[in-house]
Amino acid sequence: MSQVFSTLAVAQSGMGTYKLWIDAVADNVANIDNVTSTDEAAFQERFLTVSSVDTGGVTVTGAAFGDPNGRPVYEPSNPLADDNGMVRRPDIDLSDQMVFLQLAQRGYQANINVFERARESYETALKIGQ
């Protein structure tokens, strides 16, 4: 495989991985205010597990999840509250999620730039051969 094509493949795998990371962060943020009763598991923060590929690039190998116990919160007026007025909320920090989102966006953008430069190099090489 030529250097340009392998560069395109590596950048493409990076874009796909960062897109999935952005999706995971979006899911975490969307569920940050979910409330469950204390006898149910709280929404679990999702983390991606990623591995390098021998031929270059990365692949998502699975997901890891946060604490199902979440954070017990005193909300006696909540209809899901137990006899002690407690409910479970996800143990997700919004500021952490915003940092993860920025990292994933910048990683995605960096891979787009690599992809575009490699594509331009490929097109230039084709023009030289004409």
What pTM was computed for the model? 0.87
CA distances from 117 to 8, 45, 74 (A): 9, 35, 54
Structure tokens at 118: 């490699």
The 10s digit of each residue's pLDDT in 30-85 is 999 999 999 999 999 999 999 999 888 999 999 999 999 999 999 999 999 999 99
On the question of pLDDT at 130 being above 80, the answer is no
The 10s digit of each residue's pLDDT in 82-104 is 999 999 999 999 999 999 999 99
17 — pLDDT class (breaks 50, 70, 90): very high
CA distances from 50 to 7, 56, 110, 126 (A): 19, 13, 18, 35
**Residue 89 CB contacts under 8 Å (≥ 6 apart), including other chains:** 33, 34, 35, 42, 70, 71, 73
Question: Domain tally for the chain?
Answer: 1
| pLDDT reported for residue 3 | 63
Asked if residues 46 and 34 have their Cβ atoms less than 8 Å apart, the reply is no
* Range(s) of the domain holding residue 54: 3-128
